[in-house]
Amino acid sequence: MGDVAVARRAALDALLAFEQGRPVDQALAGALDRHLPADPRDRALAVELAYGVIRRLRALDFALNAAATRPVDRMQRPVRAVLRLAAYQLLYLDRIPAHAAVHQAVAQARAAAGPAAAGFVNAVLRSLLRRRERLAWPDARRQPARHLAVVHSHPDWIVERWLQRLGFDETAALCEANNRRPELTLRVNRLRSDPAAAAEALQAAGVEAAPGRYLDGALRVRSQVAPDALPGYAEGAWTPQDEGSMLVALVLDPQPGEKVLDACAAPGTKTTHLAELMGDRGEILALDADEARLVRVAENVRRLRLASVRWRQGDARQAGSLVGAGWADRVLVDAPCTGLGTLARRPDLRWRRRPGDVAALAALQREILAGAAEAVRPGGVLVYSTCTTEPEENQEVVRSFLAEHPEFRTEPVTPWLPPALRPAVDAEGWVQLWPHRHGVDGFFIARMRREEVPAR
């Protein structure tokens, strides 16, 4: 193991920035660059610590409240972050001895807030060590929602939603899946490489690579370095992407020479997949309302050396007027959503989302889908997708759209799914993937076709 103290310092910086409102991925990237620019082992430990604390935040606070004389929410921010970091090591990791975790936490507290804080941290952690095997977690029978929310560290409102639809055992399994470290999955760019060659290059660099769960063009890798530091990334041989996300472009099924609109395109992961599937022959317009995020689209297009993609800033709700009514053979609406299907990969979302976000985003999604649909030519295809599990954002949005747009009819997504996922297609022909059932992010995908205009 490398320098644990330095890894803890980077994780602590990231947690403090997260408490001040920064997304954890951005906070951690900055902390790693400051403290750990090179050593992959230390960087991996810092990532494990920071993401682990955020995944287990509520359970950690519950345990600390049982061990401390002062509630967690009334502690100084640096002291609270130090305690959470140490509690995560004591409760969920076994690679660092307990005495070392306590010692390092005391040193961090002294550096951040002085001798009194160091003494307080030492006392709390010693108390936690005595109590950790007999913590009185909420009772599962009397308080099922609170039990799952505290033990598995999710907000009550999310757990209550899932309990109503899935029941106790499945909700527990879903929460557990959200707390696992997600696999790094790569989408091989067949215009530049193939899965065998990409896997060979990774393995030559000491990175274990295995075929995807479902898709021939996917690789699952075990790596302790950032994806952009792996061989093949800079050369455009592959792109990091979850297999559930890869299915979206496959369901749209773009063909060489067609005109395709990606209506909510940034950061361009699905846009570039569309171009690869088309053999980079045709015209793809990547539209996004956030001009700054379009920079990521441009970066991805250039890295993958794609010629068929252009991009522009614009609101998908006005897509018909921006690109021309009926301009596109195929339109993808990968709509902004609550992201509740990606909580393993983006653990901070569970703490940033609020109950009202579901309805607010569903309203936006309906507007985006209606606006983007104007760009679909008669006979063309429209795909709607999200990375959330909530029916208001998924099935209800599509049902509302179809009721208001009789010129569109639904088409089952079954032919474009791998056989192992076809049983997940519902009676309406749409698919909702679940992390605990399918081992991928929780994507929803629906496919529709605009009716041809009858000839006169």
Q: Which residues are catalytic?
A: 387
Query: What DSSP string runs through 408-448?
Result: EEEE-SGGGS-GGGGGGB-TTS-EE--HHHHSS---EEEEE
Query: What DSSP string runs through 151-196?
Result: HTT--HHHHHHHHHHHHHHHHHHHHHHHTSPPPEEEEE-TTT--HH
Query: Maximum CA pair distance of the chain?
Result: 87
Query: What DSSP string runs through 330-365?
Result: EEEEE-----TT-TTTSTTHHHH--THHHHHHHHHH
User: CA torsion, points 354, 358, 360, 366, in degrees to nearest 10?
Assistant: 160
Tokens of 187: 């989408």
What span, in angstroms and rounded, lies between the C-alpha atoms of 443 and 341? 6
Of all helices (H) and strands (E), which one includes residue 83? helix 77-92
What span, in angstroms and rounded, lies between the C-alpha atoms of 266 and 254? 19
The SS3 assignment for 383 reads strand
Alpha carbon 399 to its chain centroid, in Å, reads 26
Nearest alpha carbon to residue 43 among 53, 56, 33 = 33
Pair type for strands 376-386 and 218-222: unpaired
Place of tokens 């569970």: 350
What span, in angstroms and rounded, lies between the C-alpha atoms of 312 and 301? 13
What span, in angstroms and rounded, lies between the C-alpha atoms of 236 and 111? 44
